[in-house]
Structure 1
């Protein structure tokens, strides 16, 4: 390791170039990971807040809550559950008056719930809703659109205005901020699509100590584990798979890049290694120096790239779906360094084949 570090400090410009390339590649990997994780969280944070085990939808909805409509009294058909909460879900478009006096349209998702149910949101500012068309909004609406408690926002689908009375955190569904309100408000919004069935909800959210014992006595209902429900959210699985493959390939590319750099440097130093072997320095010592040098370069490149990513997280606007997951970052760092060390073994193989007499000439 001493020899590896001495060479790096002696040839600063050469190794600074290698580290620079690794920093850029690792920064891209970490940043994409943060975006992928942030985007996936924006699809599901409101669901995770439920701490639920399953969800009941209409049988014909194909596990999609947007297409689900069930009668409210169908809750009696759910047996074996510890807690069941009614949930109405519908997308809405609101109009906000910006500082420039220009109207700005905001897309959100309304969750109609009972205020005392277990899926009611935590309040970080203001209070919970107590009347029709009062909502508790995700805090992102305050951060992105400067909405405040008491703001009244006209709805596009109905001649009514909602009033923000409180804010909660981590409440997004399909990337849209969630507005929590009572079931009566949801019924008023939903009745536009189905005026003949006013007492309709979208789903029943279920908690159970043993979800396998939950049974449904109504054939028009279907039970889905929460994990399956999340995976079936529109676009969720495709986003996760796409970003996962991109990140894996970038890690492999970064490892190949550092492996090629080390191989080229090893070939350039064949004469030097030949002299070292002629002086009696064992191949294992020289090989370990190359591996140690690879470890130093990969660690520095990954560390600086990670530091830049964490710094970027503090300056990114709230509209950018970015979230830090230290566990993922640690795994990526370990994989990058591990693959880079594996790649350095090709250079060790070259060193082992060096004939001191031929190298000296």
Structure 2
């Protein structure tokens, strides 16, 4: 430890460059992981918010909720601990009185019953009480400047809705969610309201304390139940996006680790003559190897640690529109991998150190 730290303090410039490379590589990896994770979460946060076990869709919909249509009364035939209807309709809105392309906002309407478990927790304002009132995702306030009481005009119709509350973590397919009544959803989707049991909704979401959602009786052969995990994986574009970013980040981690390992190896090999002198003075190969490993760990830990700090500082100043989210588990695993790979590069160096002939090294 003493020898490793003493050399770092002596050759500050050389080791600062090595640490700088570690910082830049780790910062790039951490930042891309945050962006990939945030973008993936923007597809599913509203679904995670349900805290449900399964979702019932029509068999013909092929797990695409936008293509699923079933009678609202079908919920009466479902046998589960808890069940809730939901209607989903994408739409474009703009704040009343403001026009132009920049004012248009892509959103998704969730038609739900206020007394069922899909009702989100309101963090500002109040829950909707009447038709044409909505509880919006907080991102509409942070990114678009929408405030409580604002009236939103729907594209392609004269329908208007009023924002009465805000909730958090409510995005679906990257778009912010507007929670409203089933009647309002039907008017958005079908331009008419059907209060009867034959009124159409998109799906039935269930919670069941049984061992398997397969035990849930959908009440109809035309309806099929899927686990929430299976449903999320079938959200259009979600799986492809996760796999793409996952492979990209995976390759980046491997390449970064190899580069770091090579830097450490070259750095060690440059000190061959010095190690030869140390061996000639009677210092054991084990002691030298231990110093190389400790030095590699210190360099990697400092570089990765500074990279983590820079990532955290960047996350604090990013605008709300950037889909960045921090996952401490991911960052911890990747940080450990980078340090371990640097240590592997140092281990290869150790093998070379052990084989050094003092007479040849000194020349």
Per-residue CA distance 1:93-125 (angstroms, 9 max, x = gap): 001269899860001000000001101010111
Q: Counterparts of 2:138 and 2:126 in 1: how far apart (Å)? A: 13
Q: Does residue 1:349 correspond to 2:351, yes or no?
A: yes
User: C-alpha root-mean-square deviation of aligned residues, in Å?
Assistant: 1.9
Shift of 1:77: 3.1
Matches within 5 A, 1:283-294: 283-294=285-296
Partner residue of 1:126?
A: 125
Structure-to-structure mapping, 1:123-272, within 5 angstroms: 123-192=122-191, 199-210=199-210, 211-272=213-274
Q: CA deviation at 1:217?
A: 3.0
Larger displacement relative to structure 2 (16-25 or 258-267): 258-267
In structure 2, list runs of 5 or more residues that go unmatched.
none
Shift of 1:254: 2.1
State how far apart, in whole Å, the 2-side matches of 1:193 and 1:25 are. 56
Give the structure 1 partner of residue 337 of structure 2: 335
Does the C-alpha gap of structure 1 residues 360 and 315 become closer, same or farther in structure 2, counting only changes over 3 Å? same
In 1, are the aligned partners of 2:74 and 2:219 still within 8 Å (CA)?
no
| 1:85-96 alignment runs, 5 A limit | 85-96=84-95
2:96·2:151 contact (CA, 8 Å) conserved in 1? no
What is the TM-score when the length of structure 1 is the normalising length?
A: 0.95
Which structure 1 residue ranges, 4+ long, deviate > 2 Å from structure 2? 96-103, 192-195
Alignment CA distance shift 1:63-1:17 (3 Å)? same
Query: CA offsets, 1:38-70, max 9 Å, x none?
Result: 111111111111110000001111011111111
Q: TM-score, normalised by structure 2?
A: 0.95
1:184 is paired with a residue of what secondary structure?
helix
Count of aligned residue pairs for this structure pair? 359
Q: Map Cα deviations across residues 176-223 of structure 1 (whole Å, 9 max, x no partner).
A: 10000000001111214999x971000000000012311223111111
Give, in whole Å, the separation in 2 of the partners of 1:89 and 1:53: 18
Distance 2:291 2:97 in 1: 61
**Which residue of structure 1 aligns with residue 73 of structure 2?**
73
* Cross-structure match for 2:116: 117
